[in-house]
Amino acid sequence: MCGIVGYTGNQEATPIILEGLRKLEYRGYDSAGVCVIHSGRAEIRRSEGKLVNLDKLLATAPVNGEIGIGHTRWATHGRPSEINAHPHQAGSIIVVHNGIIENYLELKERLTGLGRTFKSETDTEVISHIIDEKFKETGNFEQAVRNALQELRGAYAVCILCENDPGVLIAAKQGSPMVIGLGENEYFVASDIPAILSHTREMVFMEDGEMVVFSRGKAVFSTVAGEPLEKKPRHIDWSPLMAEKGGYKHFMLKEIFEQPRAIRDTIAGRLMEEDGNVFLEGVKLSDGELAQVERIFIVACGTSWHAALVGKFLIEEHCRIPVEVDIASEFRYRNPIINDKTLMILISQSGETADTLAALREGKARGAKNIAICNVVDSSIARESNGVIYTHAGPEIGVASTKAFITQLAALFLFTIRFGRAIGTIDRDKGRTMVSLLIRIPALLDNVLELNGQIEKIARTYMHARDFLYLGRGINYPIALEGALKLKEISYIHAEGYPAGEMKHGPIALIDENMPVVIVVPKNENYEKVASNMEEVIARGGLVIAVCSEGDEEIRKKAMTTIEIPRDSDDLTPILVSVPMQLLAYHIAVLKGTLACKIGKIK
């Protein structure tokens, strides 16, 4: 997830672009850059780190001009560095891009064969080269963009300039957000409304496959294929504060609702549907090396540790290799039995958690192979590990992990497919089924998010409880732990997560008519057992909130209330079940007024 801005009009472009980028820093902040065209010359300034570094650079080396583009980056391909920062120029074409080009390696190989050299490690540089190639063929900027975009697979929102057509700005979108602001003889392009809200409230929302050409004071909309389009502007009356959070009340809610997009980004460019396999560029181990693995340790902290517990179920079930899950702060201080036949998987959103980093170092010192699952590109854990699967969730601004967690689950599922295919426990047909499950997840998440209103009502009913219990079994037991952690973390209500079958060994004594008990009871092989645990809770007067499969009449009859999720593969149910847990904790915290102090910080 990155932020892009474009401007063309009668004002100096640079301050407008910088102001826009500042509002988009929530989308990424590891490097930034601008390009402004003046007297037919493109002036590019880029710098690593937060936007303030670009401000400083521009103070010493200013650029002037009335047409320009800018970018704030959250690295996906290539570490954060000046060389990987956007804009990227090839020949006379300059591009800023938000999204992931799935076929960039294939295109890069072809372009390299044509004698082109690449300066960065990004997928974006391929876009500037391919447009420049087409521009050389056609001599027409607009046509070159159309031809080039039709060769890209994946997601993009792009702003493009051309030194040989210096009065023209082109923007196009496929899969990544883009809004166009209409001013008085001026136009703005941005990834999101807040970037341009101080300049105009008349906005056009671009749809996938659409493109706009700004030239000679006019904006002409069309499809990328060239069909003319009539686009109607909408008046946006959001306050600037609302706009910053995308119209959501809190960053946490925004990030919860972003999850279908986040999963799409996690899997983008990695699925090999035909082969029933996945492509994980960052996993450097060959099939032969993976086949030597005799035992896996997954090590992490907090929410990431809950993801690790789900990973154990997935890998053991499909790869039949023993998996141990460790809390990093425990692992580093004991004497773990690991050797060069051990594979360690370190999970960390930030990639900076000290205990997880120390566990990685400890494992390396003992000769274990390792792979990290991280969100933050080029973080310490990502740098020091021998391979990394980036989750591509985008920056986590709300401190309670939501999208970071479910993308970790998706990354573990990707790894399971890759590992199982390598060691032969997953054949092509099974791999194809597993890949198709992942493809369905974003749409299913959209359905689950529709439960938001219902969950808010449930939150009102139970917000005054002093304690909560969360129960689950098997692959959904870690989700009970995660549900309890979310509630504790943001609402300050005491909550415990338990394996449902363990309840009778003590905690059952706590259950009475004041105790809400959230039970994860989807229709899977554990269904009857969990349903009978639910009966035990009801018998003691507990207030059952059942997270169950859609249309489960039996559970409806017995539970105080049900939250019904679509029935899908058992392996991916944890992703779907996580969402009601997040929403319940969020709404209780909002109602109790405990959220404001916790949310909204940039980590």
The secondary structure element, H or E, covering residue 360 is helix 354-365
Q: What is the DSSP string of 215-235?
A: ETTEEEEEETTS-B-----EE
* Greatest CA separation for the chain: 80
Look at strands 210-215 and 218-223 and give their pairing: antiparallel
Specify whether the backbone of 320 is left (phi greater than 0), alpha (psi in -120 to 50) or beta. Answer: left
Contacts of 457 (CB under 8 A, 6+ apart): none
Look at strands 93-98 and 41-48 and give their pairing: unpaired
Q: In whole angstroms, what is the distance from residue 93 CA to residue 132 CA?
A: 6
Which tokens go with 321? Answer: 């290799």
Question: Which of 255, 240, 230 minimizes the C-alpha distance to 196?
Answer: 240
Write out the residues near ligand M6R by the rule CB under 6 A: 301-304, 348-350, 353, 356, 399-401, 489
Residue nearest ligand M6R, Cβ-based? 302
Alpha carbon distances (Å) from 310 to 316, 372, 415, 424, 433? 10, 16, 13, 21, 19
Q: In whole angstroms, what is the distance from residue 174 CA to residue 177 CA?
A: 8
Question: Which of 47, 37, 91, 41 minimizes the C-alpha distance to 71?
Answer: 47
Question: Which of 448, 577, 579 minimizes the C-alpha distance to 522?
Answer: 577
Q: In whole angstroms, what is the distance from residue 519 CA to residue 521 CA?
A: 6
Alpha carbon distances (Å) from 581 to 234, 251, 453? 35, 17, 14
Q: Hey, which residues does 372 pair with through a beta bridge?
A: 346, 388
